[in-house]
Amino acid sequence: MGPPVINVRNLWFSFAGQPVLKDVTFEVNEGEFLALIGPNGGGKTTLLKLLLGLLTADRGHIRVFGQSPRKVVHRIGYVPQDIHINQNFPISVMDIVLMGRLISSRSRRRHSKDDKLSAEKAMEELGVWEHRDRQIGDLSGGERQRVFIARALVIDPEMLMLDEPTASVDTKGQGEIFEHLKQVNKKVTVVLVSHDLMMISSYIKSVACVNQFIHYHPEAEITEEMVEICQCNVDLIAHGLPHRVLRKH
Amino acid sequence: MIDVLEFEFMRNALLAGLLVSVICGIIGTLVVVNRLVLLSGGIAHAAFGGIGLSFFLGLPVMAVTLCFSFVVALILAGVTLKAKHRSDTIVGVLWAVGMALGVIFLDLTPGYNVDLMSYLFGSILMVTQLDLLVMVVVGTMVLFITGYYYQDLLAMSYDEEFARLRNVPVKPLYFLLVCMIALSVVVIIRVVGLILIIALLTIPPYIAEKYARSLRMMMVFSVLLSCLFASSGLLLSYFLNVTSGAAIIMVAAAGFFISLLLDRLVTRRTSMSSVSTSN
């Protein structure tokens, strides 16, 4: 196994005087499919944004591909939570996916033929090429997420980070998205934030509980210690299978 | 109808209306999709401080107001970036402070007899050649800047966080946008006055957004709608002998309600047809 693609040591972050992350230390290896789980407000999204360089840590050390996050943004694909996005915005699926290429376009004014070919390839992969001329607001939740994943993949990233990619997607659509992510993971390290353990359990390779502290587990199962630290067993208990849902796989 | 255009002031007014429509359509679209309506209102009203200051100092109104608006715009841009959750309050405060300053400056100006109404509600019929020239220059700048940074503005407007990750210079771009808003506001004051600016900035893009399939198309539709509202409002004000700025806004408002009504009818028809197909 190669060197870790993510290396975080003694990371502290606070927001408006309130600690969000305390002394977080963990590593992610190349080719992993890591799920960050934990209670709402536990710091999952914050941790993801720190890894992307969208936020700056108070203290500690973050290295992605051995460098500070801001220097490697061109090697990372990002799928944000889609609740912040204006649904009525007049934009076609094609234009959204092309947005992903802004970083590598030689000219920022117009998209080159290369940009369009990469966009086509990513959209074919995610099965949204047929929707290219539709307005994003007319798509279903699942289709929309696949468009955002295509936008993230259009630069051929080495790592893909997703924030709650299935929050507004029906069960069938969620399955499709995870099947796509499984394919993507053959070449690309995947880190995703999720709260739905039932769905992710059969796809992920490792899991980390984030609740101010982090508890990282290199296998796709939740230990009792994690449940204790994270109180992230809400879904599990609700399904009547405390602590064991992931262990079965 | 054509004989209206025999008067030079009407020709100038119509030209001013069309030029301002180009500016309004483009900037208004960016204002609406970036949710900067309140901020634009703040800049427009605070600009009154600049108007007061120019009379107090005895300097050209347009130039002083422009400088004053730029300062207000930069403060507002900085504050709204830093403290997003409190930005509406701060916009509200600067909005009122700007207007109060304007009134005090005018109080302190000896023997002033300014027609305040023309700044509050516009005076398109008194547009001069110089005003038209300024409008052409500002319109060209707005067109050029928006065209040049179109892809970046699109990315920032759609998804600011993602844009930052694609190395779009979101912060400088935001300041640039707010400055363009200030520039536009000062020019539009001439036509509809600072109180009515918000309507002209928001109504055309609001209607255009529903039919446009891209941001560019939304800008074009907004410009065309603005032209329609400005020219028909102007004609209406001439024939009914009412204030032109107010007439333009009332026409725009009529357009707004008609579009709402059309929406209602369309959704009712589609829901009825879906009911009949499901039966």
Domains of chain A (ranges, CATH numbers): 4-83+158-238 (3.40.50.300)
Residues of B in contact with A85 (CB under 8 A): 158-159
pLDDT of res. A239: 39
Give the single-character DSSP code of A220: S
Establish if B275 belongs to a structural domain.
Answer: no
CB A150 within 8 A of CB A122: yes
How high is the mean pLDDT of chain A?
A: 83
Mean pLDDT of A3-7: 88
Residues of A in contact with B214 (CB under 8 A): 90-92, 95
Establish if B16 belongs to a structural domain.
Answer: yes
Domains: count for chain B: 1
Q: Has residue A22 got a pLDDT over 60?
A: yes
What does the CA dihedral A62, A67, A69, A73 come to, rounded to 10 degrees?
-160
The Cα-based distances of A219 to A24, A166, A204, A208, B112 in angstroms read: 19, 22, 8, 9, 80
Tokens of B149: 């940074």
Q: Give the residue ranges of DSSP H helices in chain B.
A: 8-33, 37-57, 61-82, 87-108, 116-121, 129-148, 150-158, 160-165, 170-192, 197-211, 215-240, 244-278
Tokens of B30: 């960016």
Cβ neighbours of A247 (radius 10 Å): 13
pLDDT of res. A109: 67
Between A26 and A111, the more confident residue is A26
Residues of A in contact with B158 (CB under 8 A): 85-86, 89, 91, 96, 99
pLDDT in tens, A201-232: 778 888 888 888 887 777 766 666 666 656 55
pLDDT of res. A210: 86
Mean pLDDT of A161-184: 89
Q: Give ipTM to 2 decimals.
A: 0.85
In CATH, what number is assigned to the domain containing residue B183? 1.10.3470.10
Establish if B7 belongs to a structural domain.
Answer: yes
Of B190, B166, B163, B191, nearest in space to B177 by CA? B163
pLDDT of res. B137: 96
Average pLDDT, consecutive stretches of 10 residues, N- to C-terminus, chain B (279 residues) = 78 94 96 94 95 92 93 93 83 94 91 78 88 94 95 93 91 95 92 90 95 96 96 93 92 95 85 58
Report the amino acid identity of residue B16.
A
pLDDT in tens, A33-50: 998 988 888 888 999 999
Expressed as residue numbers, the domain containing B146 is 2-268
The 3-state DSSP class for residue A39 equals coil
Which helix or strand (DSSP H or E) is residue A63 part of?
Answer: strand A59-64
Cβ neighbours of B162 (radius 10 Å): 23
pLDDT of res. A9: 92
Q: Has residue A249 got a pLDDT over 80?
A: no
Instruction: Tally the C-alpha atoms within 13 A of residue B147's C-alpha that lie toward its C-beta.
Output: 8
CA atoms of A37 and A195, how far apart (whole Å): 6
Establish if B279 belongs to a structural domain.
Answer: no
pLDDT of res. B186: 92
A246 pLDDT band, cuts 50/70/90, is very low
Nearest CA of chain B to the CA of A215: how many Å? Answer: 28
Interface test with A, best of B144, B153, B165 (most A CBs within 10 A): B165
pLDDT in tens, A76-95: 999 998 777 778 899 999 99
